[in-house]
Amino acid sequence: MTTPTIESPKAPVRTHRSRFNLEAFGWVFMRASGIVLVVLIFGHLFVNLMIGEGVKALDFAFVGGKFSDPFWMVWDTLLLWLALIHGANGMRTVINDYAHNRLVGVILKGFILVATIVLLVLGTLVIYTFDPCPAGSPADLLPSFCGTVG
Amino acid sequence: MASAVASKSGPIAHGEVPTFPVTVIVRRFDPEVDSEPRWVDYDLQMHGTDRVLDALHKIKWEIDGSLAFRRSCAHGVCGSDAMRINGKNRLACKTLLKDLDVSKPIYVEALKGLPLEKDLIVDMEPFFDSYRAVQPFLIASSKPKDGKERLQSAAQRKIFDETTKCILCAACTSSCPVFWTDGQYFGPAAIVNAHRFIFDSRDEGAQVRMDILNDREGVWRCRTTFNCTDACPRGIQVTKVIGEVKQAILRGKP
Ligand code: HEM
Ligand code: SF4
Ligand code: FES
């Protein structure tokens, strides 16, 4: 008994796709940023709301003090960028899920993109150009180090 | 268990299997008459050993012969009678009525996400298109030596054992919320059947299949909802299998 011979059986159909695409990157990013965000968010909440006097300590001086400390400036920048990009990419997924109409989807995703860029630019500007000691303000509202500076 | 053994060996009287009344509500749709599907109630007297498929047979054979549904083997082998039973995708031939709450009506409708043709019958073509797209066949350039079979160790076989069990019933794919809204998504079943060959040591097409699934509409659309794992009548851990394919794509090799 002989079996039929098939030359080079079923040659695969080659498709042209890049090995590492945006969807794969997004998938990894959501997980990687999620892990970092757990530390950043809970660290942020702990320091702002629980340590010392808790939520009562939150005032202009408290925020001004944080925005003058390079450690918190880096922390808040990371939190801003990771949370916004993570959230924006998550919303992109949700829009892909629910927007049946292609045009509606493109418009909504356009809004998300613009909002994300505006918020990233504004937020970063605030973190790095914040003046904790605006001239002519009553000293009791300002961080303690203001008197020594100006 | 002694009494169960005793009753098995003894003669079984007629009518020993208890019967109970049950209402089955079927989502009927006749494209020539209806503009919208409609729910129709059927009151039946069924046995404790009956399955949802038996209830459908009773309706078709004794009440309304126009009821349309697919079934072939009636024993969980062919995969033709997947449908939504009380909101969950199940094979009608593997779902015992007594395992459902028969004090309430049982709702039976066609699979979601695939075009409805008539009553419980959907167009399976989009489903099979995705299946075909992952090239679910052995791709090998070499011939096995001396006209013999391609050798594979038991350990190598075990890696993809689970996904060889798929019967292409579409229960998983049509239970996936991503598939409901995005018909382009390959869907769980196509990924399961790609897994079957990606992890087969005799196959050489893993890279091609991984490229296909590393697509906008590929594995990254999966949001680990676990509906597919819950739906699979073959007990395949579909979500885990999809996860393994994701990992393989990130690694760049099976
Ligand atoms: C506590 C830290 C966080 C972790 C561990 C985390 C983790 C994740 C993961 C893994 C996903 C992907 C889910 C999937 O693909 O199935 C996701 C999705 C998402 N995340 Fe986060 N995330 C965190 C914080 C945030 C924050 C602060 C925001 C808002 C700015 C956010 C907004 C979203 C959105 C909108 C989605 C998409 C939801 C969906 O896919 O249904 N997440 N998150
Ligand atoms: S993986 Fe399970 S549910 Fe999906 S098609 Fe195969 S047998 Fe059906
Ligand atoms: S009729 Fe064949 S699987 Fe149910």
- The answer to whether A1 faces chain B, any CB pair under 8 Å, is no
For position B4, what pLDDT does the model report?
Answer: 43
- Reported confidence tier of residue B1, pLDDT bands at 50, 70, 90: very low
* pLDDT at position A127 over 60: yes
Rounded CA-CA distance B199/B254 in Å is: 6
Residue A65 falls inside a structural domain: yes
Residue A123 falls inside a structural domain: yes
Residue A16 falls inside a structural domain: no
Residue A15 falls inside a structural domain: no
Residue A126 falls inside a structural domain: yes
For position A139, what pLDDT does the model report?
Answer: 83
Residue A141 falls inside a structural domain: no
Which of B87, B82, B86, B115 minimizes the C-alpha distance to B24? B86
Residue A91 falls inside a structural domain: yes
Helix, coil or strand: residue B249: helix
- Reported confidence tier of residue A18, pLDDT bands at 50, 70, 90: low
Query: What's the CATH code of the domain at A49?
Result: 1.20.1300.10
How many domains is chain A built from?
1
Which of B47, B53, B44, B108 minimizes the C-alpha distance to B78? B53
* pLDDT at position B6 over 50: no
Note the maximum CA span of chain A. 102
What is this structure's pTM?
Answer: 0.86
Mutate to test the pocket of ligand 2, among B70, B112, B168 (most ligand atoms within 8 A of CB): B168
For position B147, what pLDDT does the model report?
Answer: 80
For position B13, what pLDDT does the model report?
Answer: 65
Chain A residues touching residue B249 (CB < 8 angstroms):
24
Residue A143 falls inside a structural domain: no
Question: Cβ(B78) to ligand 3 under 6 A?
Answer: yes
Tokens of B68: 């349309």
- The answer to whether A9 faces chain B, any CB pair under 8 Å, is yes
Q: What confidence tens digit (pLDDT) does each residue in B205-249 have? A: 999 999 999 988 899 999 999 999 999 999 999 999 999 999 999
* pLDDT at position B2 over 50: no
Helix, coil or strand: residue B223: coil
For position A9, what pLDDT does the model report?
Answer: 47
Q: Domain range for residue A43?
A: 24-132
The ipTM (two decimal places) reads 0.77
Chain A residues touching residue B147 (CB < 8 angstroms):
3
Tokens of A103: 């045009």
Contact flag A23-B141 (C-beta cutoff 8 Å) = no
Q: DSSP states of chain A as a string?
A: --PPP-SS-SPPPP----SS-HHHHHHHHHHHHHHHHHHHHHHHHIIIIISTTGGGG-SHHHHHHHTTSHHHHHHHHHHHHHHHHHHHHHHHHHHHHH--SHHHHHHHHHHHHHHHHHHHHHHHHHHHH--SS-TT--GGGS-TTHHHH-
Which comes out higher in pLDDT, residue A134 or A12? Answer: A134
Q: What confidence tens digit (pLDDT) does each residue in A32-77 have? A: 999 999 999 999 999 999 988 888 888 888 999 999 999 999 999 9
Which comes out higher in pLDDT, residue B187 or B4? Answer: B187
Q: What confidence tens digit (pLDDT) does each residue in B117-174 have? A: 999 999 999 999 999 999 999 998 888 888 888 999 999 999 999 999 999 999 999 9
